[in-house]
Amino acid sequence: MVDVILLFNPKVEVKVRRRLPKIFSLGDANVVKLELTNLSDRALKLTVIDELPFQFQKRDFQQEITLATDENTTIAYQLTPFERGSYDFGAVNVFLETNFGLVQRRHRHDYEMSIPVYPSVLQMKKYSILAFDRMTTQKGIKKIRRIGHSYEFEQIKNYVRGDDYRSINWKATSRRNELMVNQFEDERAQQVYCIIDKSRAMKMPFEGLSLMDYAINTSLTISNIALQKHDKAGLITFSDKIGTTLKAERKGNQLNKILHSLYNEKERNLEANYELLYQVARRLINGRSLILLYTNFESSYALERVLPILRRINKLHVLVVVFFENTEIRNFVEDKVTTVEGIYTQTVAQNFLAEKTAMVQQLRQYGIQAVLTRPEDLSVNTINKYLELKSRGLI
């Protein structure tokens, strides 16, 4: 009875506030904070249960803390969404106890909130910083030294060992009495298009995300880097029919347009129509551009069906075909097997991986740039290819 009287006293009160970021990033750990303040005249033991969005399928969230009089604290936890869309948080339930611990009193704080899950903005910012950091040690994310030069003159600098001797500025050399060379920079205002295949081939899941979601996150990242390098970024999505078409531009709101377009994209269960893609590309893309095509070929037959169309696109533009390595099969091949059946199955898996490698060689044979990558390395390898093509002056 004493415990009931102490606990259900009107002066016993706990203030709760949930803090969320403006948006959640797809596939990233997003931080949620619960701020709690004990406004009572006695210490309380709290059991906090937050009603999470149904997409997470978590029904066991629970935090236990003890708060002294007038004490406040913050509970921080992380949520990783694997689907784009709107996520709805429910109430925050707080169960109160005194030091006796015989009775619990529930405080329900109606704190319904909605938050959209967009393509990974955190990943976009991370790789943007790495791509522009000359001293970064991240594998592959680095400046590539130009062999030769483009037509964009930047400055005259002192000659250092390894510079192209054909770039020596003899007039400046005679004035300074030391070797001086012309330095050139990457050409600007070039068009970079991300084309995303939305067909059933891109629905395959890896570590919670579909291949299309990996492509969406990378498209946002590479578009941001292209815009910061003063290039124009555009977007096309397709499956059996054309989805989003954004003409490559450098306007201030272009990245925001790309972000909202990617947010609304959904996979489709039909095959991709590459003939339709070629017609739209001819009509929409004016001038030679860099095209990053995110798709997936599970067999050489699937590639051979669309190869004539890819060759036609490559004649007009610099085409980079980005497709995925099956990491589950790769991990299976690397495991040890002891049975005859296991050896047979592993041999079939090795032939499958060898076929993927042969697809890369077949594309390069026809002058088409190709990137075969693990889904989790997609952003790194795509940025590498973009920086490489820029440094070589191919776009």
Domain ranges of the chain: 2-118, 121-144+188-391, 152-185
Residue ranges of alpha helices (H) inside 229-317 are 254-263, 274-284, 300-316
Distance, in Å, from the CA atom of 327 to the CA atom of 21, rounded to the nearest integer, reads 33
Q: Is the pLDDT of residue 230 over 80?
A: yes
What was the pLDDT predicted at 136?
Answer: 44
What number of other Cβ atoms are within 10 A of residue 209's Cβ?
Answer: 21
What mean pLDDT value characterizes the chain? Answer: 87
Q: Which of these CATH numbers, 3.90.850.10, 3.40.190.10, 3.30.930.10, 3.40.50.410, describes 121-144+188-391?
A: 3.40.50.410
Greater pLDDT, 62 or 166: 62
pLDDT for residue 131: 66
Q: How far apart are CA 260 and CA 263, in angstroms?
A: 5
Amino acid at 126: K
CA neighbours within 13 Å on the CB side: how many for 234?
Answer: 21
Place of tokens 């790769």: 330
Nearest to 261 by CA among 269, 250, 253: 253
Which tens digit of pLDDT belongs to each residue from 335-367? 888 888 888 888 888 888 899 999 999 999 999
- pLDDT tens-place string over residues 76-123: 999 999 999 999 999 999 999 988 888 888 988 888 899 999 999 888
First to last CA, the chain: 80
Give residue 138's pLDDT band: very low, low, confident or very high (50, 70, 90): very low
Distance of CA 304 to the CA centre of its chain: 29
The model's pLDDT over 37-73, given as tens digits with 9 standing for 90+, comes to: 999 888 899 999 999 999 998 888 899 999 998 899 9
Domain 2-118: homologous superfamily in CATH: Immunoglobulins (2.60.40.10)
